[in-house]
C-alpha cells in the first residue's frame, strides 16, 4: 500500500530549508509545508492501517448471493 510510503518528512524539511536559504519561500510558507508534512506522517499510516484492516475483513466474510 502506497500510503505508508508517503511519509517523507526529512525530505520536506530539507527542501524547505534550501528554499528558505535561497529566499524562494517565506518562513510562514516553510512552516506551513513542514506542518503539512507532519500531518501526513500521522494521518497516512493510520489511514493505510484502517484500509488494510477493512480489506482483510471484507476478504474473510463469505459472499451472500441470493
Rounded to whole angstroms, how far apart are CA atoms 40 and 55?
A: 22
Average pLDDT over residues 38-64: 81
How is residue 58 written as a grid cell? 471484507
Q: What is the arithmetic mean of pLDDT over 1-8? A: 60
What does the pLDDT read at residue 32? 97
Greater model confidence, 52 or 2: 52
- pLDDT of amino acid 33: 95
Query: What number of other Cβ atoms are within 10 A of residue 56's Cβ?
Result: 10
Are 34 and 23 in contact by the 8 Å Cβ rule? The answer is no
Look up the pTM and report it.
0.66
Q: In 3D, which of 35, 56, 47 has the Cα closest to residue 4?
A: 47
Computed over every residue of the chain, the mean pLDDT equals 84
Measure Cα distances from 66 to 49, 50, 61 in Å: 32, 29, 15
- Provide mean pLDDT across the span 26-51: 90
Amino acid at each position: 500500500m502506497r500510503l505508508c510510503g508517503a511519509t517523507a518528512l526529512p525530505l520536506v524539511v530539507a527542501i524547505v530549508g534550501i528554499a528558505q536559504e535561497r529566499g524562494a519561500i517565506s518562513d510562514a510558507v516553510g512552516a506551513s509545508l513542514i506542518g503539512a508534512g507532519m500531518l501526513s506522517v500521522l494521518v497516512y499510516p493510520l489511514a493505510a492501517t484502517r484500509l488494510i484492516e477493512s480489506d482483510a475483513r471484507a476478504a474473510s466474510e463469505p459472499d451472500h448471493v441470493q
